[in-house]
Amino acid sequence: MIRYLTKRLVYGILVMWGVATVIFFLFNILPGDPARMLLGQRADISSVEAIRKDLGLDKPPFFQYLQYLNDLSPVSIHFDGDGEVPGFSILSASTWQLVVKKPYLRRSYQSKRLVSSIIGEAFPKTLLLAVTAILLAMFIGLVLGVLAALNHNKPLDRFLLVFSSLGMSIPSFFAAILMAWVFAYLLAEYTRLPMFGSLYSVDDVTGEQYINLRNLILPAITLGIRPLAIVVSLTRSSMLDVLSQDYIRTAYAKGLSRFQVVIKHGLRNALNPVITAITGWFASLMAGAVFVEYVFDWKGIGVVIVDALEKYDLPVIMGSVLFISIVLVFVNILVDVLYAVLDPRVRLE
Amino acid sequence: MLHIENLHIAFKNRTEETTAVSGIDLTLKKGESIGLVGESGSGKSLTALAIMGLLPKQALLRSGKIVFKNTNLLALSSKEMNLFRGQQIAMIFQEPMTSLNPVMRCGNQVAESILRHQKVSSKEANAQVISLFKQVNLPRPEQMLRSYPHELSGGQKQRVMIAIAIANNPSLLIADEPTTALDVTVQKEILELLDHLRKTKGMSLVFISHDLGVVSRVADRVAVMYKGSIVEQGLCSDVFTHPQHPYTKGLLACRPPLDSRPEHLPVIEDFLHGTTELKPTNEILTRNPVDYQLKGLKPALDVTNLTKSYPVERNLLGKVTREMKAVNEVSFQVFPGETLGLVGESGCGKSTLGRAILQLIQPDEGTILFEGNDLMHISRQALKATRRNLNIVFQDPYSSLNPRMSIGKAIMEPMKVHKLIKNRKERLTKAAELLERVGLTAQQMNRYPHEFSGGQRQRIVIARALALNPRFIICDEAVSALDVSVQAKVLNLLNELKREFGFTYIFISHDLSVVKYMSDRIMVMKDGKIVEIGNADEIYYHPKSEYTGKLISSLPSLTSTI
């Protein structure tokens, strides 16, 4: 188990390095000049050059790449002329020292803020939204899926099937607008839900920020629709498969009631494919649900990336993409461990 | 104690209803054991499931009564039935591999049944489970409590199933083919265990099996089922020595006999249509031991030091630290025209060996000379050409045919791949010929595998193997999935083909009686090694190794009881 985890972590680090490399070269061979984007079309050449020098864009690409990796790596080389030491020094030489530090994602070209603090602000919102949406999808989906399987080919099953294919096919931008229109406009009197808003609202009178969970409801439901539909249909088919297995017959032969058989022997065995789907969705939702975040003005990581793309704010884009890929690597390791916990036949090797 | 009266069960699909059980009457006294014998589809399992109230959804109870201790079980609601199931009536199923919940510890699966029917704490229940595990002779009961099913062997799983069944001291135990999936030596132990438990606990036993030999070991009385009805019942000794119904006679006769070797096995149809009477000893095919080396024949297949191992453990860098030798330095020869039988229990490496010879699995070491060509070191083209002469028939006729390919196409495919017959029309003619040769008709060419029975499918697989006019065929458990009567027909077919085309066979099976019937020489394998190789009769009557002797004594034969 520990050996397995170490192996996966090493792979994870290799993946990160690969991602960093791809991101770097992808954004550096793309046409477009961040210095010009900053200053606008009518800037004079000398100020563009000054900015380029400031951002390190005048150096050769390979040097920039090494610089980038050095910034990212938790263990890095720091030259004496480069300002103050960012972390602990573990080894000193005449002109440089080896330093342990937090990965440095650089600063936004536009706002000059640290990219890590931009992500640190946006990501918890995305995480909260994703977790809520997935939990909704999982619990409702499992219950509905089991119900559908138990009522195989009866009206309830048919209805749930139609519902789930509808849920799978509805585009999220449409679902988002529809939800906002129906629940926050047409039915606003009864639901009292806001059209849009982020995790924090500003109090009209005192001007203080406060956490407003009401803003979470609509985007979470909207975001949960598709995973919910998938969980329903997967649970249904997986459950149907499990219920025809021999050990279910054994369970009935013990004299257990239908409820006991379905929950204790059926559901536990039916979970694996559902877990795969849920975690897959969870991982992709954490990359930010751009449309839903946009429509509801939920200031998550998806919105941050899209804004940065518009402004060609390279450090923000690169930092966010890198961060998301770290999250994906970790979620995947977590899923594999979860598998082994749920199914003793899976051995982590 | 148990009385079944005029039981009718039908299967319903959208359009039609087919009768599965028609009018069964059966009575079982306290402490008695009855064997229900029949082939697949005879309705024996359905009868058992009806007693348990566990009929599949598509099955409909048409009429009849099942009276257990003065209660008509068929009139009970499912809630009332739950009090009987697992408490007074318990059942053991055929497949120990799939009958236990894979994600639940064995101890919990047994304790669950105890907790359901007795008012005890879970601690007491666990203590009971340990004592049950001791009763069913499971090794290290305390450890078994916490084991998951996949950590146990097949026999051990079946013992856990038995522990579940006897957990609440039921007065009726139903065992549905409990040993079919197990090796003969394990089968013997399980049968002895069941017999012992029945006698000490005073249970009645309904024992379902397709194997007459097995039934004769545990049952006092036997009921023979055929197409949904009981055609004959009586004391075991009477029925097996003086069968009355032609079906029973046929069933008894079509088993490959151990003491003689008729050229042609009788099949059930002969008896049902009354075309032949039993003439067991007339046409015994005596096989004189042939010393091939003395005759100066060159072996068709010469295997030396063949080894194939699988990694069991790897270290951090992915280097193999422990491996399992599935085939361990095996050497043998097969001579043209002979049938070499290969027996051994599951996991002994016999299938791996068969596949390694064909290069379907890449062996690690050794040489395989087929007609003088080293199969492990020849070019791909040469190997492809050799494959024309060397073919294989697999065990499971259900999964070795592509379900989306008509059988005609399946038979023609090898001819096309090997460019044996380039003209499509000629291929069609050849396929039709082959189908007729294996006892099917050319009109069935465009049908798909699911439209055929197991026996017919195995004929199709054989026809496909014949398509390239091979000289050498490896039959890997080719008849193991088939009923005895069908098995007799397929064995007859294989022998006929051999006489007609002069094939050389390697006949792989776990069933010593079939292997002995088919082979000139027998090779016994255990743990990847050859234990013994020699003339078939000699191995059977004078086994040199202890293991072969154990295999032979575990064979459930009728003669041992009568």
Parallel/antiparallel/unpaired status of strands B529-535 and B521-526 = antiparallel
Q: pLDDT digits over B188-234, tens only?
A: 899 999 999 999 999 999 999 988 888 988 999 999 998 889 999 99
Smallest Cβ distance to B98: which of A247, A255, A264?
A247
To 5 degrees, how large is the angle CA B547–CA B345–CA B544? 20
Mean local confidence (pLDDT), A250-271: 91
Confirm or reject contact between A344 and chain B (CB < 8 A).
yes
Complex ipTM value: 0.80
Contacts of A5 in chain B (CB under 8 A): none
Q: Residue B294's pLDDT band (boundaries 50, 70, 90)?
A: low
H, E, C per residue of B347-366: CCCHHHHHHHHCCCCCCCEE
What is the tens place of the pLDDT at every residue in B232-277?
999 988 888 888 888 888 888 888 877 777 777 877 777 777 655 5
Asked if residues B91 and B48 have their Cβ atoms less than 8 Å apart, the reply is yes
User: Can you say whether the dihedral through the CA atoms of B200, B201, B203, B205 is positive or negative?
Assistant: negative
Within an 8 Å CB–CB cutoff, is residue B113 touching chain A?
yes
What pLDDT does residue B511 have? 87
Would you call B261 helix, strand, or coil by DSSP?
coil
The verdict on a CB contact (< 8 Å) between B164 and A254 is: yes
pLDDT at site B282: 43
pLDDT at A24 (0 to 100): 86
Q: What is the mean pLDDT of residues A43-54?
A: 79
CA atoms within 13 A on the CB side of B513: 20
Contacts with A247 from chain B: Cβ below 8 Å: 98-102
For chain A, say whether B95 makes contact (Cβ under 8 Å).
yes
Q: Can you give the pLDDT at residue B293? A: 59
Query: With the C-alpha atoms ordered B424, B425, B426, B429, is the resulting torsion angle positive or negative?
Result: positive
Q: Are A40 and A51 in contact (CB under 8 A)?
A: no
Q: What confidence tens digit (pLDDT) does each residue in B123-175 have?
A: 999 999 999 999 999 989 999 999 999 888 888 999 999 999 999 999 999 99
Cα Rg for chain A, rounded, in angstroms? 25
Determine the average pLDDT of the residues in A267-274.
Answer: 88
Does the distance separating the beta carbons of A344 and B148 come in below 8 Å?
Answer: yes
Q: Is the pLDDT of residue B561 over 50?
A: no
What mean pLDDT comes out for the span B505-522? 90
**CB burial readout B519-546, b (16+ within 10 A) else e:** bbbbbbbbebebbbbbbbbebbeebeee
Question: For residue range A151-199, what is the model confidence (pLDDT) as tens digits?
Answer: 999 999 999 999 999 999 988 888 888 988 998 888 888 888 887 777 7
What is the reported pLDDT for B562? 38
Least confident of A252-266, B75-89, B316-330: B316-330
C-alpha span between B224 and B239 (Å, rounded): 9
Question: How many whole angstroms separate alpha carbon B387 and alpha carbon A253?
Answer: 49
Between chain A and chain B, the number of residue pairs with CB atoms below 8 A apart is 76
B82 and A268 in contact by Cβ < 8 A? no
Residues in chain A: 349
Closest partner residue to B86 among A255, A258, A345, by Cβ?
A255
| Tokens coding B75 | 């009139």
Distance separating alpha carbons of residues B399 and B43, to the nearest angstrom: 24
Span A200-212, average pLDDT: 77
pLDDT at B488 over 70: yes
Closest by Cβ to B85, choosing from A7, A254, A342 = A254
Q: Tell me, what's the pLDDT at A261? A: 93
Which pLDDT score, from 0 to 100, does residue B275 have?
56
Q: A247 vs A26, which has greater pLDDT?
A: A247
Place of tokens 């459930």: B556
Distances, alpha carbon A133 to alpha carbons A130, A217, A222, in Å: 5, 9, 8
What pLDDT score does B119 carry? 92
How far does chain B reach from its first CA to its final CA, in angstroms? 28
Q: What is the pLDDT of residue A132?
A: 93
Burial (0-12, 13-18, 19+ Cβ within 10 Å), B52: buried
Q: Is the pLDDT of residue B463 over 50?
A: yes
The Cα–Cα gap between A113 and B257 comes to 89
Residue-wise pLDDT tens digits, B29-66 = 998 999 999 888 888 889 999 999 988 888 888 889 99
Closest by Cα among A267, A272, A308 to A27: A308
- Shortest distance, CA B103 to any CA of chain A (angstroms): 6
pLDDT averaged over chain B?
86
Q: Are A194 and A214 in contact (CB under 8 A)?
A: yes
Q: Is A47 on the interface with B (CB under 8 A)?
A: no
Residues of chain B found within 8 Å of residue A254, distances taken between Cβ atoms: 85-86, 112-113, 116, 164
Is pLDDT larger for residue A59 or for residue B401? B401
What single DSSP character describes residue B277? -
